[in-house]
Structure formats: C-alpha cells, structure tokens
Structure 1
C-alpha cells in the first residue's frame, strides 16, 4: 500500500500491451490489470460522456476498495453558463457513480478559462449545495496573478477544504517538436503558472510531461520534494502523470515513483507488469 495515490489519465491504452499489460491482454482486462500497478486514475472519460449503469457496475467489480477514481463532472455541467442551473444534473451524475462508493473521491470540477472571478459566488453556492468531496481546476489568468481575485478563490476553496488542482504543463511546453501528438497537446493544455496548493488532506497534482522521459526530471524534482513533504506531514497526495499522447504516461508515472523512493526510501516498488487472472489460473 502506497502512502499516496499515483496514476495516469486513463487505463484504456492499447499501446501499453507489452509494457504495463501483457501482449495477450484484451481491452476488457485493462482496468483490472491497471489497478494491480497503480492505485488511482483520472476520470477523463466521464468529462466527455457519462457511463451507463452497467459500465459503472463493471467498474465497481474491478476496482479494489483502496483504488481512487477522480471522476470529472461532465463538461455539460462544468462548462455551462451557470453551475447552479446544473445542480440537478450534477446530483444525477453523483447518484450514477454511487456503486463505486468511496473510490470516487474526490470528484473533479474542471472549469474553462472563461470562468473568471465574477463567478466565484456561483462556485461557492454550487459547492455548498452539492456537498461532495471535490477538487477544482481553474484556468482563468486572474486566478494566477497573485492578486485579490486569486486570494478570494483560495479563501473559498480552503475554507471548505476543497483542493485546488495543481497543474504543471511546463515540461510539455518546453518541447520543440513537429510531432502531431505534441502539437495537439500544446494546443489543448493550458499554459499557466504552477500553484502547489494543499488545502486539505489530499493535495492534487496533474503533471503534463515532455515526450522524452529524461527531459521531465528537472520539472518533476520540485514536485518530488513537495510530494515527499506532504507525505511526511501526514497528507495523502494524488499524483497523475501525462505525456502528449499518453503512450508513455505509465512509464513517466513509474519514473516519478522511482525518484520519489530516493527521498522516501521505505516506499514499496511498483509491479513491473501483471498477468490477466484467467492466464494465471491456467498455469496452476
């Protein structure tokens, strides 16, 4: 058991066959195999489409009790003109994921860059009405200007022990490349200052990496020190590693953990690779 949560944007990556997953793994095996290596995952899939009840039931069967699924509130909610008008939809979404129990903790609210300081009262009311474990990612420049608007946001979140998600895309934007995956990622990801916030027991970090793994080390080092300090304070951080097309996301997550063991030598190693249960049973 790790003293922090570590994972990737998703588990559904066919390119991980031969690395995280065995060559013979079927797509239906991926989640169960993923949970044997990592103990958390970003819920990007729920941002774009809500799962069916049958899918949620299948996830509940495959996710161990200690696993964490940071389900993003659907973009129809987070990117609407009025969060309060979406309270009913948010409550329905929370109800849909109830079979996962405490494994959905926290939910993530990722608001767009157009969501500015004038909407903070709306955000406060939404948080008060919804009453769920929540972490919030903001992208409006005013929330990174170290002025009163940013302080107001931080007071609001910290007062309710709502995490402000730490997003670091510096490694991604340090890459000069004509690779379509890199260009696509750079066009989609925000380029904003880092904010190493810890407003609760569970700080949240999203690290958007360079496609060449060693190039991430200098950008990861301050976060490794921060995560180690949080753990030593008794907090339980969440850390998610991305690469432009996420083909190397699992390798970057392993790299982060390996370097964290230098600062915290008692950490257990991650499994290198696991086998589908059916194949293991067949060897007995």
Structure 2
C-alpha cells in the first residue's frame, strides 16, 4: 500500500529559488524535485525519445521508490495511432530500460478522435507490450464516457491487458470561468473531461487539474481524498498528479494532498523531506 504524488514536470521557472535551489545544473534538477514528490509525469517523452544515457541520469537522481509514468511518443499514439509502431516502440523501450521498476506505467494518451471503433487496434497494441511493463491508457473520445457499450468495450480490453484507465479530472477547473492569464490559456487547451472515479487495477492513476487559487484546488479534490483513502484500504496503490494552470505551487499542493490522505491513513509512508534551498551550517 503506497500513495505516490507528483506533478506534470520536475523543473519550473517559478520553483527556482523558492521550492528548489537555484541555480541548479540540469543533472541535479530531478534530484531536488524528488525531495518534494515521489512521482512525475513523463511528458517530455511524448515530444522526443531521450537517449538511454539521459534516462540513466534520471535513475541516478532518484531513489528506488520514485516512479515515472512515461508517456509514449507522439508518433506512436497520435501520428500512427498505435499501428505500424514496431520501430519507434523498440527505440522508446530501449531508451527507458534503465528505469527498471521506477517505470510505474507506460502512459498511452490517445487523441480525442480515437474512438470505440479503434479499440481493436488498442487491444492488439496492448497484447504486444512486454510483460515487464504495465500500461495506463488515457482516452478523450466522449463516447467512452457517455455510451455504456463503449465504456464496457474499453474496460474489457483494458482488463484483459491488466491496464489502467487514467482519470483526467478537469471538472473543478471548468466549474467557474477563468480568472488569470494562465487559466484563460488553459481554458482553451484543456479537455472538458467527464468525471471518472472507477479503478480497474491495483495501481489507479489520477491526473487532477485545479485552479490557480490553492483553496479552490483543495476544495475541488476532496472527493479524491475520499476515493484515495478507500483505494488504499482496499490494498491498492494509487498515484495522484496535481496540476494547476500556472503550476506555481504544484509540488506544495501534491504534498498537501498526500498529507490529507495520510491524516486518515496513518500507516501510509511519509514523503521524503525537501532538500534545503541553501546548505545548512553549524553556526
């Protein structure tokens, strides 16, 4: 039983000198982020597959309990839509191999046009994944949320592959009009996803988008605190990624979510202590 929490990235200009030491060399940024959170969304791998040596530095900067949810490359999910992807998947899997057990899941984020008629393609793709990896699939076609037949079809395919359905909760964000530049920008880019709270596996993954106002973000995640507590008591080990439009306080909020859950599940392991912004001195 474990709750992992994290953010959409491990480096952010707004964190420099406030949450993370500054300046930091590139090869130290993840190490300092890992003092705040014990998981991260691997969004960068969507745009470019890193070298194996680069991934090895990620391992060097994190402890054995740290987890990456590695996003499959855009060419695999959006350009080729999971078909004829043997070579890009070979390159990607070879690159992330150093992660070993730190690779919590392969994140298969599918475009909104990938609908129920495409599920057989997804099924074939999942069957070909190496057994050493677990998949977490994020869909955005509305039929999967509104049509019972489509929901059951997807759940069946995911269940057969022991793959999770990633919940992307944007309901709190879209509950009221935007009030900041970052919120106005996100308003035009983020999908209005129906709320889904059902876990298929013992390792559910939630992506939660709050507001730039911390109080509204916390208010909007209270149902997830209840659900996460229930999951933990059922023996599941969930992962919660906290987003806000500006992400200025995302690591702080992720830790706060963990604290709220741990207050109700005292046996939950604590998060690591953040690395001090400045070296401690004796005098």
TM-score, normalised on structure 2? Answer: 0.91
Q: Which moved more, 1:258-267 or 1:39-48?
A: 258-267
2:89 is the counterpart of 1:87: no
**Cα shift readout 1:214-246 (whole Å, capped 9, x = no counterpart):** 112332111101111111111110110001021
Alpha carbons of structure 1 residues 23 and 210: separation in structure 2 relative to 1, 3 Å? same
Deviation, structure 1 residue 146: 3.9
Map of 1:123 onto structure 2? 122
Residue 203 of structure 1 aligns with which residue? 204
Check if 1:48 corresponds to 2:47: yes
Unaligned runs of 5+ in 1: none
**Aligned equivalents of 2:215, 2:159: Cα separation in 1:** 35
CA contact (8 A) 1:17 1:23 kept: yes
Structure 2: how far apart are the matches of 1:126 and 1:269?
37
| Partners of 1:152 and 1:78 in 2: CA distance | 19
Give 1:225's aligned residue. 226
CA RMSD of aligned residues (A): 2.2
Q: Which residue of structure 2 aligns with residue 62 of structure 1?
A: 61
Match for residue 174 of structure 2?
173
Q: CA deviation at 1:27?
A: 4.3
For residues 97-246 of structure 1, what are the structure 2 equivalents within 5 Å?
97-131=96-130, 132-246=133-247
Aligned ranges 1:70-81 → 2 under 5 Å: 70-81=69-80
Offset at residue 3 of structure 1 (A)? 1.8
Q: Gapped runs of 5+ residues in structure 2? A: none
Question: Conserved in 1, the CA contact under 8 Å of 2:38 and 2:271?
Answer: no
In terms of mean alpha carbon deviation, does 75-84 or 172-181 score higher? 172-181
Of 79-88 and 231-240, deviating more is: 79-88
Q: Which residue of 2 aligns with 1:247?
A: 248
For residues 54-78 of structure 1, the C-alpha deviation after alignment (integer angstroms, 9 at most, x for no partner) is: 3112112112221111110011111
Q: How many residues align?
A: 281
